[in-house]
Amino acid sequence: MAEITDETLDRVARVARLSLTPAEKKALHNDLEAILKTFSEIQQIQVADEELYYVVDKVNPLREDTAPTYCDPDKHKCSEKDGIMDNIPEKEGRLVKVPRGL
């Protein structure tokens, strides 16, 4: 169970969006196997079929179904929105610039 093939690790790294170097991949491969081997002790514990939900039992909190109020930058300063825009690495005007997806 704790053996991870190179092919699987490549797939995991791709899903995790981490382009690992070969040296990094080798070190992490060893770590992953060692950690999962130790942690496989959870397989031996007798458990019921039911899995955990949430630690906190509660109803799903829902907000009122109303139209959200957007702040209009022409009328007043919206500091939180400006703060969010300031953190965007690449933008054009008020648009986020991203490379092609395909």
Partner 1 sequence: MDLIQKVKAQLKLIERTNPVLNAFITTDAEGALRQAEIVQDKIDKGKAGAFAGTTLAVKDNICMKGLRCTASSKVLENYIAPYNATVIEKLYKQDAVFLGKTNMDEFAAGGGGVSGYFGPVKNPLDLTRVPGGSSSGSGAAVAAGLCDMALGSDTGGSIRAPAAFMGICGLRPTYGTVSRYGISDLSMSMDQISPAAKKAADCRTLLTKINGYDEKDPVSVHELPDKREFEGIRFGLCKEFLDERIDPKIVDMIMKTAKVFEDVGELVEISVPTAKYSVPIYYLTVFSEFASAMQKFDGLKYGFSKKGDDMFEKISSTRVEAMGSEVKRRVLLGTYITMKEFRDSWYVRTLKVRKKLISDFNTAFKKVDVLLGPTMPFVAWVYGKEITDPVANYMADILTAPQTPAGLPAGSVPCGTDNGMPVGLQVTGPRFSDMLILDCMEHVQKNVSYDVKLDPQLERLMR
| Interface residues toward partner 1, by CB under 8 A | 1, 4, 8-9, 11-20, 24, 28, 31-32, 34-36, 38-39, 41-43, 45-52, 54-56, 58, 61, 63, 79-84, 86-90, 96, 98-102
Q: By the 8 A CB rule, do 88 and 96 touch?
A: yes
Question: What is the closest distance, in whole angstroms, from the C-beta atom of residue 69 to partner 1 in the complex?
Answer: 16
* Contacting residues for 6 by C-beta, under 8 A, at least 6 apart: 29
CB of residue 67 to partner 1, shortest distance in Å: 18
Q: How far apart are CA 32 and CA 4, in angstroms?
A: 8
